[in-house]
Amino acid sequence: MHTMFKRFPLFLALAALMAALAASLPAHAQRANDPAAAALLGNDARFHPVIAGHGMVAAQERIAAQVGADILLAGGNAVDAAVATGFALAVTHPQAGNIGGGGFMLISLSAAKKIAAIDYRETAPAAAAKNMFLEETGNVDRDRARYSRASSGVPGTVAGLLYALEHYGTLPRGKVLEPAIKLAEEGFPVSYGFAYTLEKGHERFAADPSSKAYFEHPDGKPYKAGEILRQPDLAKTLHAIASEGAHGFYEGPVAKLIEDEMKQNGGLITVEDLRNYKPIEREPVRGSYRGYDIVSMPPPSSGGVHVIQILNILEGYDLAKLGHNTADSIHRLVEAMRRAYADRAKYLGDPGFVKVPAAGLISKQYAAQLRAGIDVSHASKSEDISAGKPPGTESEQTTHFSIIDNDGNAVSNTYTLNLAFGSGYSVDGAGFLLNNEMDDFSAKPGAPNAFGLLGGEANAIAPGKRPLSSMAPTIVLKNGAPFLVTGSPGGSTIITVVVQEILNVLAYDMNIAEATAAARIHHQWQPDTVISERGVSDDTLRILESRGFVIPRNNDGSFQHRVLGRANSIMKANGYLLGAADTRDADAAAIGY
């Protein structure tokens, strides 16, 4: 007889003791006994995510991520944590976190089984006009489109965050704004990463005395790591928002300060524009990839439509068999991206102003048609690819955070000032930077914006219209519940970065830390070049070149590389939350409990 059975009573007693012990452990410690979980979290992975049992925030700046995690711990839901993190990032990460910009939030509510998509994108002011950035010569005045007060759209962030809180949050406004107010009033230590960014921002602040006063020492010296940055004017504005809600920003003294700033300096936003601003709750776009549901942001972001379109095209290939970042798989990724961005330039715009054939663009049938046109031995030429017929380097300082709470609610939020520190101009007396989102419109058909993106009539400037975005906050569902929450900054590269986050998990079986660390590639139709990160092998790039792909090289012949995106994502596995803050950013953090 087996010795275990000889000692059966002892074995039973031990098993009962272990079961009793397990029952008294916190939930995530209990799950550590799960053999499947042990395999996932064992030593086979080259990169490990942050692991938690109940709630997680992954964001681009640690202090703001902690603010969100503290709200979760205090009993707030994912939306409360998102709003608190959003306002905190406006203080601790002002290169992209903001109250003077706009963005998109996707919320998955587990009890209601609902996914809400909140569009709080900026709008063009009433005085905006189609040709407002054209010089007499007909050329685009790029400085005015990007670095002037006229480059600012009517900010949507405050209205969007408060809409989310009022409709889907649980905590009072004062409670979620409290940490941001404290950080602005008392200050916070500047990190190495932030000190570097502030130093780089020096040029952008030069034209505006208020930005210089807010983000530099009185003698013009940049803040060094470890110094405390206090923002008392911003604290006053946040106080007004906490006590009066959206009125505290869109009406009254803050609105007047914004209008004054504009009036004196060639900007267009008026008190009336501010009073008229409304966030819009939209139906998310939905697709699928190999049994998983992909839910993302609809127009006026192009993000969701093209993430789904690219995944649809790629679903027809066995990427796992082709291998991760091999020439064969990159070849297919690039061709799918090329076709999606050609469609983006033609069809995408604010659905309040133009008819966007979103359903056709995300249909499997259209993807099959595009896939059929891909030659897997030779590169296409972008000049030969124009938009299909669907049925029916600038700094990229947008920022994304992902949150999952203990009840399975999830938030995926991307917001921005557009370029780093937006227009570079702050509202004097109100303490915050304004966006330069007007550059995301197509100032002239065929003239590239700051991200090299082309556009046409669908994205022309018009009063009240929202500029086309690439932001793609996305939630992947498995059996109807959030499985992966992801998104990224990166201007035009957002879409392709999000696609690779999803593929790395769903097609290549990586955990989210591996998926996020993996080298990325990007192609956006025009310019017709494959951008790669360091880590994609030279051999692979040479094979791609031999097939006709254009891959930029340096003067010494070496391949050029560029960092692509900064995704902050959370996935669920074996009952755990696995968080990964993108290590491409010095300050990013995933914090769970």
Q: Contacts with ligand GLY in 310-339 (CB under 6 A)?
A: none
- The answer to whether 398 is a known catalytic residue is yes
Part of the chain binding ligand GLY (CB under 6 A), chosen from 5-13, 467-475, 528-536, 539-547 = 467-475
Q: Which residue lies nearer to ligand GLY by CB, 398 or 568?
A: 398
Among 125, 360, 491, 579, binds ligand GLY (CB under 6 A): 491
Q: Which of 150, 454, 461, 471 binds ligand GLY (CB under 6 A)?
A: 471
Strands (E), 254-397: 280-282, 285-289, 292-296
Rank residues 191 and 418 by Cβ distance to ligand GLY and give the closer one.
418
Calpha distance 57→415 (Å, rounded): 16
- Binding segment for ligand GLY (CB under 6 A), chosen from 208-216, 342-350, 375-383, 469-477, is 469-477
Q: Locate tokens 């932001």: which residue?
A: 471
Between CA 128 and CA 460 the distance in angstroms is 11
Measured from the CB atom, is 121 or 371 closer to ligand GLY?
121
With CA atoms as reference, report the closest residue to 54 among 408, 401, 480.
408
Alpha-carbon distance of 43 to 128, in angstroms, equals 57
Q: Binder to ligand GLY among 191, 270, 469, 516 (CB under 6 A)? A: 469
User: Residue 470 or 569: which CB sits closer to ligand GLY?
Assistant: 470
CA distance 124 to 246: 19
Binding mask 409-448 for ligand GLY (x = CB under 6 A): -------x-x---------------------x--------
The DSSP-derived string for 491-532 is GGGHHHHHHHHHHHHHTT---HHHHHHS--EE--SSS---EE
Of 296 and 470, CB closest to ligand GLY:
470
Pairing of strands 410-416, 576-580: unpaired
Provide, rounded to whole angstroms, the least separation between the CB of residue 419 and ligand GLY: 8
**Is 473 within 8 Å of 414 (Cβ atoms)?**
yes
**Residue 103 amino acid letter:** G
Where residue 336 falls (left for φ over 0; alpha for ψ -120 to 50; beta otherwise) is alpha
488 counts as binding ligand GLY under rule CB under 6 A: no
**Three-state SS annotation for 7-36:** CHHHHHHHHHHHHHHHHHCCHHHHHCCCHH
Count of residues for the chain? 593
Give the x-and-dash track for 527-546 against ligand GLY (CB under 6 A): --------------------
Rounded Cα distance, 169 and 86, in Å: 13
Give min distance, CB of 72 to ligand GLY, in A. 28
How far apart are the C-alpha atoms of 433 and 401, rounded to whole Å? 20
Residues 6+ apart with CB under 8 A from 143: none
Closer to ligand GLY by Cβ: residue 412 or 511: 412
Which residues are CB-neighbours of 512 under 8 A, at least 6 positions away? 49, 484, 501, 505, 569, 570, 571, 578, 579, 580
Number of neighbouring beta carbons within 10 Å of residue 101: 30
Q: Which of 197, 270, 329, 398 binds ligand GLY (CB under 6 A)?
A: 398
Give the shortest CB-492-to-ligand GLY separation in angstroms: 7
Q: Which is nearer to ligand GLY, 49 or 303 (CB)?
A: 303
Q: Select the span of 66-74, 81-89, 466-474, 566-574 touching ligand GLY (CB under 6 A).
A: 466-474
The stretch near ligand GLY (CB under 6 A) out of 53-61, 126-134, 291-299, 463-471 is 463-471
* Residues facing residue 289 across a β-bridge: 292
Nearer to ligand GLY, 413 or 470 (CB): 470
Binding residue for ligand GLY, selected from 470, 474, 486, 516, defined by CB under 6 A:
470
Phi and psi angles of residue 127, each rounded to the nearest 5 degrees, phi first: -85, 5
In the bound complex, what is the minimum distance in angstroms from residue 496's beta carbon to ligand GLY?
12
In whole angstroms, the minimum distance from the beta carbon of 527 to ligand GLY comes to 17
How many residues make contact with ligand GLY (CB under 6 A)? 8
Residue number, nearest CB to ligand GLY: 469
What order do you get walking across the sheet with 481-486 strand by strand? 50-52, 576-580, 569-573, 481-486, 474-478, 292-296, 285-289
Question: Residue 316, class by beta-carbon neighbours within 10 Å (0-12 exposed, 13-18 middle, 19+ buried)?
Answer: middle
Which is catalytic among the residues 197, 398, 414, 486? 398
* Host H or E run for residue 363: none
Count of other CB atoms within 10 angstroms of residue 513:
24
Nearer to ligand GLY, 89 or 471 (CB): 471
Is the CB of 31 or the CB of 465 nearer to ligand GLY? 465
**Where along the sequence are the contacts to ligand GLY (CB under 6 A)?**
398, 416, 418, 440, 469-471, 491
Active site residues: 398
